[in-house]
Amino acid sequence: MSEPQESTEIQFKAASLDVEHYLHFYQQMAKIRHFEEKVNELYTGALMPGLAHLYIGQEAVAVGVCEALNSDDYITSTHRGHGHCLAKGASVDRMFAELLGKAPGYCRGKGGSMHIADQETGNLGANAIVGGSAGIATGAALSAKKMETGKVAICFFGEGALGQGIIYEVMNIAQLWKLPVIYVCENNLYNEYTHYRETTAGDLSARAKGFGIYSEVVDGQDVRKVYETALRLVKRARQGEGPGFLLCNTYRYRGHHVGDIDRSYYRSKEEELEWQTQRDPLKILAEWLLEKGLTEQAVLDQIDQEAQNEIESGADYATKAPYPEQSEVDLHVYA
Amino acid sequence: MSMLSTATREITYGEAIREALAEEMRHDPRVFILGEDVAEAGTPFKVLSGLVEEFGPERVMDTPISEAGITGISVGAAMTGMRPVVDIMFGDFITLAMDQMVNQAAKVHYMSGGKLRVPMVMRTTLGATRRSAAQHSQSLHALFSHIPGLKVAVPSTPYDAKGLLKTAIRDDNPVAFFEDKMMYKLKGPVPMEEYTIPFGVADLKRKGDDITIVATSSMVHVAMGAAKMLEEIGISAEVVDPRTTFPLDKQALIDSTKKTSRALVVDEGYERYGVTAEIAAVIADGAFYYLDAPVKRMGAMDVPIPFSPALEDLTVPTETSVFEMAKTLCGRA
């Protein structure tokens, strides 16, 4: 099997540390932040059916990792997946349409918040089974290796998925077969309403190391660090050096889902406040950019405003969009 | 019955499976096999013997003992351009891969609004009386037949096995393919030339007038034996084999029952909530005004399959028990 060539796009990214690049990170994170705020608003306003698991606080992980990818690389996502989808290039209007169960949604309204898939951006789907997409991501990496496409697959999952056996089955196989897959574990500290230390014995990244998988741990609130680390792991995988495991330490600002309001029985307000004020991914990047004199507050404000406008118009589009025809209910059961 | 008019030869059920795989792998470089001991070992049943020699270890891939993992990997590979055939050694082990089949493979196409496809085949086995006890003897095809998004094939002859497996591999949907492990050595005529058999088309295994016996997989042969016994007492039994439990050829089952006015459904899965229940309901609904007797069904006894031969043989319908039930249905004491 010939060694896949590194694409020029990645070479450019690796060399590029210019300000435009970082402003783009900021823009992507702001977009996710505003998207999720809007989801919260729609949901609490009874305009969005179902469940909503917000990604607020974890934006640097999705953006840092997806910025290290090519547009045709694969990702699989989770129930808390809006950030991954947007970071991989999904459009806001079709995302909102899907969340509201509308016809122009990415899945024609059949998937909803927890199942957004978008072939065109390499998104093989969010998954509502914890750990459920580990096989899919690993299988996509197997395809990439067999077909010699040079693509890599990213498997996003939360630390809660470390309780699922399939993760270990496929990590073992990925290492045996040297598959170009990177397991990105977002440790946001809570498996739903339970601190991960109550559910997870031992060292988190030691699990992957046990299989001999190349592993790194990164501050998941610092998008630059996530990006640089992800780029290293992606490069290795693309060059045929095998899978990687990236543990990102992060924090879920909100509840497990929008309705999870009273969280006092599992974590303190002080803890939440500390992450929000001291370790916010947008603030960390903004402060760094300003400190280095790479940009001005007015530029960041403008990016933020543009992101907000995009979100408002996307939500407006989705709200006005039609529901699917009833005749669609048994369409697409079989190909 | 539906044999093509070409030259045939006698091969075993296992050889028919192997031929189907080899032919499809020659045609389509996207097709590959993965599973436990599928390569040099050729599976414990030796069904895949010789394939790794022809296609190499890249296309006949030995895996760790990880049913969920290899099924999940198959789903992902299928979604991204390959056509995996995953081998699950014993049908009992499909339970280890349930989430990957039921929540992933079966739903990806629908959940993505028709954008993503999962063209994969899970080959596995069914059938008791091999003295393998409760965890190596079950016939669990009803579990997958229950799930929208999956197709399920249960071939009963070498001819059907080959034609249906080729169709399964070419299908753009996840297909569960159940092979009766007691049948691997069974011989039957198979054309020299390539052919496929469409899903959802029942096969008339025996023509008759007095009673329809709908039988699947291993039970087709039991039904054929019973039909012979019935013939000796002047009862003409028709044996219909649906060949796929989904899609199900409802019309063929209904039409046959309308003609004979009696139906008995025999399947080796557990009788409770089983394939027989679904088929009996289809017949009762579609042929109600033609029935001279209630639709009866016979499945595996609702017990974990026991090890002792003296006990195990009691749990599965036999030629004699099917004969007796059919005789009773026909009003003969």
A63: number of CA atoms within 13 Å, CB side? 28
Hey, how many other C-beta atoms are within 10 angstroms of the C-beta on A291?
Answer: 8
pTM, rounded to two decimals: 0.95
H or E stretch covering B283: helix B275-286
Please give the Cα distance from B107 to A151 (Å, whole number). Answer: 25
B5 pLDDT above the threshold of 70: no
Residue type, B291: L
Torsion sign (Cα): A174, A175, A177, A180: positive
**Partner residue facing A117 (CB), from B84, B112, B151:** B112
| Angstrom distance (rounded) from CA A247 to CA A218 | 6
- Could you read off the pLDDT of A35-83 as tens digits, one per residue? 999 999 999 999 999 999 999 999 999 999 999 999 999 999 999 999 9
Mutation target among A106, A120, A121, A143 for the B interface, most CBs of B within 10 A: A143
Closest CA to A74 of A161, A173, A145, A131: A145
Q: What does the block give as tokens for A97?
A: 């349409």
pLDDT band at B233 (very low <50, low <70, confident <90, very high): very high
Decide: residue A128, CB within 10 A, 0-12 exposed, 13-18 middle, 19+ buried.
Answer: buried
Among B172, B146, B197, B192, CA closest to B8? B192
pLDDT tens by residue, A286-330:
999 999 999 999 999 999 999 999 999 999 999 999 999 999 999
Please list the residues that pair with A279 across neighbouring strands: none
If you measure CA to CA, which chain B residue comes closest to A171?
Answer: B69
Residue B34 in contact with residue B78, Cβ under 8 Å? Answer: no
Residue from B80, B121, B146, B147 whose CB has the most chain A CBs within 10 Å, to mutate: B80
Closest alpha carbon within chain A to B76: A136
Of A16-25, A119-128, A131-140, A173-182, where does mean pLDDT reach its minimum? A16-25
Give the pLDDT confidence of B135-150 residue by residue, as tens digits. 999 999 999 999 999 9
Residues B178, B136: Cα–Cα separation, whole Å: 14
**Residue A175 half-sphere exposure, CB side, CA atoms within 13 Å?**
17
- Average pLDDT over chain B, rounded to an integer: 97
Residue of A nearest to B77 (CA): A139
**Would you state the pLDDT for residue A2?**
38
Q: What structural domains does chain B harbor?
A: 9-191 (3.40.50.970), 203-329 (3.40.50.920)
Is the domain A8-317 a CATH 3.90.380.10 member? Answer: no
- Phi and psi, residue A216, nearest 5°: -140, 155
The DSSP element (H or E) to which B31 belongs, if any, is strand B31-35
Please answer yes or no on whether A166 and B72 come within 8 Å at the CB atom: yes
Q: In what order do the strands lie in the sheet with B60-62?
A: B60-62, B31-35, B83-87, B121-126, B175-180, B151-153, B244-246
ipTM of the shown complex: 0.95
The shortest C-alpha distance from A300 to chain B (Å) reads 35
pLDDT band at B6 (very low <50, low <70, confident <90, very high): confident
User: Across the interface, do A136 and B68 touch by the CB < 8 Å criterion?
Assistant: no
Q: How close is the nearest chain B Cα to the Cα of A32, in Å?
A: 22
Domain residue spans of chain A: 8-317
Taking alpha carbons only, the member of B214, B208, B206, B257 closest to residue B237 is B208
Q: Cβ separation of B68 and A165 shorter than 8 Å?
A: yes
